[in-house]
């Protein structure tokens, strides 16, 4: 019997990358899983590939997490399709890296809109169900970039904001049986970091190797590394853990 048997989890930005890794891990451990993402074909294909346990189900939902009407509809669809909601992972993300003197206003707005407003809207919609049933888990994706990265004023701001958001929600929702935590990955091999390599004019392997060399554990992370932490933080084994940000980065910021 998996830790997540009988649970329904919704993961945003789950068509690929870290979100897909977390969704797959929840499915392996028995959950029914809703994948939320922007691209209809990609999210449907991802839902079809989930390693579901017998009796569990999956649903693919197309929604922009920074749109309040889309989020309200998405949460309604998840509850309707899968019969409830117990776990929310706010993972959807974008980067628009630029030094501040070159950063257009729309790049600032987009990054804060997806990471911060998206997490706010999804959490606001999900907590209604969590508070009513006196049970829920929220996990927010922060980043080592929260500590400040050159060329990422928008992203670093959003990712540190996620940590404050996590602490505030933990205080508000703890009395109602809801745990709220964050995971802050370091470098993880996904299309997001491959795009960074391209922007820096480096090959994907060259970039990964350079980052691995600087890391105390001498490797970069995989979506599975983040999924393992997520599976713990959203489980009942972590019911006395709330308001925390767990850095999963191979010690890169030590």
Number of residues that bind ligand NAP (CB under 6 A): 29
Catalytic pick among 135, 155, 240, 247: 155
127 binds ligand NAP (CB under 6 A): no
What are the angstrom distances between the C-alpha of 73 and each of 140, 199, 211, 243?
21, 36, 40, 28
Give the nearest distance from C-beta 237 to ligand NAP in angstroms.
23
**122 touching ligand NAP, by CB under 6 A:** no
135 is catalytic: no
30-35-39 Cα angle (round to 5): 155
Burial of 142 (0-12, 13-18, 19+ CB in 10 A): buried
User: Which of 192, 202, 204, 241: binder of ligand NAP (CB under 6 A)?
Assistant: 192
Print the binding letters for residues 83-102 with ligand NAP: x by CB under 6 A, - otherwise.
--------xxxx--------
Rg (alpha carbons) of the chain, rounded to whole number: 17
Nearest to 7 by CA among 129, 124, 93: 129
Among 191, 201, 218, 240, binds ligand NAP (CB under 6 A): 191
194-224 b/e (C-beta count within 10 Å ≥ 16 → b) = eebbeeeeeeeeebbeebbeebeeebbbebe
Query: Is residue 18 part of the contact set for ligand NAP (CB under 6 A)?
Result: yes
Q: State the DSSP string of 103-130.
A: --HHHHHHHHIIIIIHHHHHHHHHHHHH
Looking at the Cβ atoms of 19 and 161, the one nearer to ligand NAP is 19
Regarding 19 and contact with ligand NAP (CB under 6 A), the answer is yes
Secondary structure E strands in the chain = 8-12, 32-37, 58-62, 87-90, 136-141, 178-185, 245-248
Does position 161 interact with ligand NAP (CB under 6 A)? The reply is: no
Q: Given the complex with ligand NAP, which of 4 and 187 has the nearer CB atom? A: 187
187 lines the binding site for ligand NAP (CB under 6 A): yes
Site string for ligand NAP, 59-88 (x = CB under 6 A): -----xxx----------------------
Among 143, 163, 181, 245, binds ligand NAP (CB under 6 A): 143
Residue 30 found at the interface with ligand NAP (CB under 6 A): no
- Using CB under 6 A as the criterion, which residues of the chain lie in contact with ligand NAP when the complex forms? 12-13, 15-19, 36-39, 64-66, 91-94, 114, 118, 141, 143, 185, 187-188, 190-193
Catalytically active residues, by annotation: 155
């Amino acid at each position: 019997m998996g830790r997540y048997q009988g649970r329904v989890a919704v993961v945003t930005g789950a068509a690929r990358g870290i979100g897909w890794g977390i969704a797959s891990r929840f499915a392996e451990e028995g959950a029914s899983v809703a994948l939320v993402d922007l691209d209809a074909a990609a999210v449907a294909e991802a839902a079809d590939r989930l390693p579901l346990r017998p009796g569990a189900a999956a649903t693919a939902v197309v929604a922009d997490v920074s749109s309040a009407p889309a989020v309200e509809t998405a949460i309604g669809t998840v509850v309707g399709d899968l019969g409830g909601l117990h776990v929310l992972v706010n993972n959807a993300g974008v980067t628009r890296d630029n030094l501040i003197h070159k950063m257009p206003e729309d790049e600032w707005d987009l990054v804060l809109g997806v990471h911060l407003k998206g997490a706010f809207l999804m959490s606001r919609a999900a907590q209604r169900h969590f508070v009513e049933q006196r049970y829920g888990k929220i996990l927010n994706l922060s980043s080592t970039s929260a500590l400040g990265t050159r060329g990422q004023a928008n992203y670093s701001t959003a990712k540190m904001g996620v940590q404050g958001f996590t602490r505030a929600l933990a205080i508000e929702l703890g009395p109602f049986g809801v745990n709220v935590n964050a995971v802050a990955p370091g470098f993880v091999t996904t299309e997001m970091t491959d795009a960074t390599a391209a922007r820096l004019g480096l090959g994907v392997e060259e970039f990964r190797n350079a980052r691995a060399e600087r890391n105390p554990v001498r490797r970069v992370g995989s979506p599975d590394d983040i999924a393992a932490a997520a599976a713990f933080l959203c489980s009942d084994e972590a019911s006395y853990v709330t308001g925390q940000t767990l850095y999963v980065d191979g010690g890169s910021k030590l």
